Amino acid sequence: MARLSAVSITLLLLACSAAPPTRHAQQVSAQPGLRRLVIVGINDVHGALLASPAPRSLAAWTSDPVGGAEWLGGWMDAIRRDARERGGEALLIDAGDEFQGTLISNQFQGRSVVDAFNALGVAAAAIGNHEFDFGLPVLLERMKQARYPMLAANVFRKGTHERPEWATASTLLDVRGLKVGVIGLATMDTPTVTNPLNVTDLDFVPGGPVAAQEADALRARGATVVIVTAHAGPFPPASEIQRIAEAVAGKVDAIVSGHHHTAIGPPPLVVSGIPIVQAGTRLQQFSLIELSLLETGHVAGFTVNEGTFPRPGAPQPIFHSQGGRPPEWRGKKVTPDEKIAALLRGYDEQVRRLRESRIGSSEVDLRKGRDGSLGNLVADALRSGAGGGLRAEFALQNSGGLRVPEVPRGTITFGQIFDLYPFDNLQVVVEVPAPAIRDALEAVLRAGKLPLQVSGLRYTIDWDRFATLGLGRAWPSGALVTEVTDDAGNTLCQTRGCSSSGCDAPCAQGSHAVSVSDFLANGGDGLSMLKDAPRRTGSVLTRDIVMSYVKLHDPITAALVDSGRPRVRVIGTPMRAQAE
């Protein structure tokens, strides 16, 4: 999940928007008399088929929940009716990460999500990294179940230029006589952001060149419109989607993106004349690209998120009400799709009792953050040995493994812990020396991710000193994480000084037992230094360890999760955008 400052986002989008337009796409108002194709983009649904409380930013506009598949169905009905009345059609395109993340999805290994997507009329989807979380056999079951193609043009057998038989690169749709090509791309990050063991025999290559070749092939087959749906995001350090857009300039008309959980716009993100949209996460909103078409079916112009409310140019929240009234799209009333609602009720009834069961309570709001109480709680649980887990000296928890921003004070339910920690990871305790711990702490920062949450440890990230070194991405160990201690204040590693030739950053001798998830132990999030470490693998899921810890410490107090001493001390402002 990406979290950048508003200034960073604005500067990046403005910089990308400065790219020269191609012959295919310019930002113009839809022209009367031209056919239209409305592309509705969703991404990173993560199993969030049910509505959720509206974020505080929408409090002025609605007191009702937002999102939910049945309400997206209602919005899509209004959008399709409007498009047809104006001589066009609407396509719903997904940019990946459909399944993983909620009880209503995970209990059925994504079957409920694909059923909902079938009912919504999804036209095509990219394969996201979390589509591999249940293993390839389950993904193949979901692909067989889907009435829409799940696409991955840039996935090849390890060490070859051959796609596996299940990897479809693109599809050619006939939309009322209009030939529309759709190319799907997976993120190159996939091996480090799903369990690496699930993709060991696959290569995820740069998507741009592959998409350019596929676009040419689709044009040769008669496509007058070509769309890319890519599970790839727009932000540093990779800026993967920008490189894709640059590679397909003049060949592709629109891109629906995902992976970074970012709501793009305003201003619109336009790279090499190609509009790129992304609509946050968890099915709370959607994006729109409207293409104006010549009589030949080729693209004359486009608009991005035109007419969205309450923030013009931003993705459209999936409102259930607006100001106490039913929501509307261009004068057309939006009501939930009853068939989809019935489908969801059938699945929800099977998991409701478990989801609502009480696990414990908290006297404080538990929040994510650089040194947040939620991350502290989970890391402490993984170190504690609760619920049959393994005890350890230290624990590391990646921020991206925590999937909700907050667990509010009050009763804590099974469903809340599941949504926080949906992955079926096992606990692993690795035996590593102090330098490997420091390297792990730096590795996530090197990859542009948020700092690791820790238990039993405290460490310092010194961006101010790092900025003076001018080292770029290939910095030596100790250049950024300048001090690591245990809770008692004993120094594990400390940086005395750095130069262009390296750092004087000695570490204490000896090895340490560090509790992590099997995702991290197998090298996920770039922690390759843990892959070959001696280890003990537990028999209890990390999520169940967290639940047992919450039960043992009912109610959770402020003192339990915050000693008043920061575990992660940051000096200066990060030089790199940080995402989960």
CATH of the domain at 59: 3.60.21.10
Evaluate whether 265 touches 285 at the Cβ level (below 8 Å).
no
Backbone angles phi, psi at 21, to 5 degrees: -70, 155
Is residue 395 located within the same domain as residue 288?
no
Is residue 185 located within the same domain as residue 302?
yes
Is residue 377 located within the same domain as residue 490?
yes
pLDDT of residue 502: 86
CB count in 10 Å sphere of residue 225:
25
Q: Is the preceding omega at residue 266 within 30 degrees of 0, hence cis?
A: yes
Is residue 336 located within the same domain as residue 403?
no
Q: Which of 317, 348, 379 is the last residue of a domain?
A: 348
pLDDT of residue 192: 85
Establish if 1 belongs to a structural domain.
no
Is residue 161 located within the same domain as residue 235?
yes
Establish if 579 belongs to a structural domain.
no
Is residue 233 located within the same domain as residue 364?
no
Separation between Cα atoms, residue 566 and residue 434, nearest integer Å: 20
| Residue 399: CATH number of its domain | 3.90.780.10
Is residue 157 located within the same domain as residue 39?
yes
pLDDT of residue 542: 95
Burial of 555 (0-12, 13-18, 19+ CB in 10 A): middle
Burial of 56 (0-12, 13-18, 19+ CB in 10 A): exposed
Low-confidence ranges of the chain (pLDDT < 50): 1-26, 28-30, 32-33
| Residue the block writes with tokens 């968890």 | 282
Is residue 387 located within the same domain as residue 535?
yes
Q: Is the preceding omega at residue 206 within 30 degrees of 0, hence cis?
A: no
Tokens of 198: 């699930």
Evaluate whether 125 touches 99 at the Cβ level (below 8 Å).
no
- Within 13 Å of residue 417, how many CA atoms lie on the same side as its CB? 27
Is residue 401 located within the same domain as residue 319?
no
Q: Give the domain range for residue 33.
A: 6-348
pLDDT of residue 57: 84
3-state SS string over 385-433?
A: CHHHCCECCEEEECHHHCCCCEECCEEEEHHHHHHHCCCCCEEEEEEEE
Tokens of 538: 């537990």
**DSSP of 471-538:** -TT-PPTTSSEEEEEETT--EEEE--EEETTEEE--B-SSEEEEEEEHHHHTTGGG-GGGTTS-EEEE
**26-59 pLDDT per residue, tens:** 454 445 445 899 999 999 999 999 999 998 888 8
Domains of the chain: total: 2
H-type alpha helices, 63-110: 69-85, 103-106
**Alpha-carbon Rg for the chain in angstroms:** 24
pTM: 0.82
320 Cβ contact partners less than 8 Å away, ≥ 6 residues apart: 51, 62, 64, 65, 66, 68, 71, 327, 336
Is residue 436 located within the same domain as residue 495?
yes
pLDDT of residue 236: 55
Is residue 343 located within the same domain as residue 364?
no
Is residue 158 located within the same domain as residue 235?
yes
